[in-house]
Amino acid sequence: MTEHLPLHPPARRVLSVTVERFPINGSFTIARGSRTEAVVVVAHLAENGVAGRGECVPYARYGESIDSVVAAIGAARAAVEAGASRQQLLALLPAGAARNAVDCALWDLEAKLTGAPAHVLAGLDRIRPATTAFTISLGAAEVMAAGAAAAIEAGRPVLKIKLGAPEGDAARIRAVRNAAPEATLLVDANEGWRLADLPRLFDACAGADVALIEQPLPAAEDAALAGLARPVPLCADESVHTREGLAALRDRYDAVNIKLDKAGGLTEALAMAREAGDMGFGLMVGCMVGTSLAMAPAMLLTPRARFVDLDGPLLLAHDREHGLVYDGAVVWPPERALWG
């Protein structure tokens, strides 16, 4: 279902917003709760008969709501309609979902106005298909194991397992590994563990040959990771949003998860990827649960990424028109009819 918000008076460049809802296939559960619907905000930019789009997913963990994101986009409307560039947008809006939607719409609009694909505008020769992780929601160990086995049967060899209930997480890790003995396993605790849990759960991850542990501690507590023995590489998610947060993480994490909704758009995300790589961090490109319109710009980050987690559309009951093509775990670059 699409809710059309009031349009503004015509201008050479016109910015409008829609709120769209997509049912999730079943439910999506992490340490912070469950949901059965993805609610996204889409920025539309029209100029000279050409339209660009960008999708974002407001995230309550970062103090965002549908209303606050729509209001933030509205506050920047005059400057954007007057011709603000992507670089100027970095100063107009803070990092977050609202800036992401507008930034990606600006990329899409420029690509369509100039005829140059977005990846070319970003200085990339081409975007190749990438293998994405597939997310297994937090649940009972036997349910997660069944989900893992089904994912492997569907040709998805990289599994991201949601954890964050420490008393049962070691059993969940073992159950998933037994159900998917050859899979590459990524673990995401979503800030759900505590310092006292780490030795036991790190050992469980190492014993199951987990490739990466994402955000084991709450972001406000991760200074405790400095100097801590890490038998499995650690990846920051909630602890890092933009380039400004990278330097403080050097002694805590081995990798960073770059998401457009955190970074506030592709412009910042590309710069962040370069800087993180220069600092020696491994890279994951991640996503919120959204449609292919949200995943498409993130595909420009995949050439630099060690791990790709762009499975949002696979978790939905249905995607939007002209969605990304997924062949098992392989996601193909977007058609121009979708974005860029």
User: Angle, nearest 10°, between helix axes 166-179 and 141-153?
Assistant: 30
Is 103 known as a binding-site position? no
Catalytic annotation present for 162 = yes
Is the separation of the CB atoms in 325 and 331 below 8 Å? yes
Q: Which of 112, 160, 162, 262 is catalytic?
A: 162
Task: Specify whether the CB–CB gap between 226 and 252 falls below 8 A.
Answer: yes
Quote the CA–CA distance of 189 and 318 in Å, as a whole number: 27
Q: Determine the residue type at 189.
A: A
Question: Quick check: 8 and 77 in contact, CB under 8 A?
Answer: yes
d(CA 44, CA 18): 8
**301: nearest Cα among 59, 159, 160, 123:** 123
Q: How many Cα atoms are found within 13 Å in the side-chain-facing hemisphere of 245?
A: 23
Is 237 assigned to a binding site?
A: yes
What tokens does 81 get?
A: 């309609």
What is the spatial distance between Cα 257 and Cα 207, in angstroms, rounded to a whole number? 24
Length of the chain measured in residues: 340
Handedness of CA 297, 299, 305, 308 (dihedral sign): positive
* 55 appears as a binding residue in the annotation: no
Class of residue 119 by CB neighbours under 10 A (exposed 0-12, middle 13-18, buried 19+): buried
Q: Is 160 a catalytic residue?
A: no
The residues near 114 (Cβ < 8 Å, ≥ 6 apart) are: 121
Question: Are the C-beta atoms of residues 74 and 19 closer than 8 Å to each other?
Answer: no
What is the rounded CA–CA span in Å between residue 237 and residue 250? 14
Residues 6+ apart with CB under 8 A from 153: none
Residues sharing a CB contact under 8 Å with residue 326, sequence separation 6 or more, in sequence order: 132, 313, 314, 332
Among residues 112, 160, 259, 262, the one annotated as catalytic is 259
Catalytic residues: 162, 259
Binding residues for Mg(2+): 188, 214, 237
Binding residues: 188, 214, 237
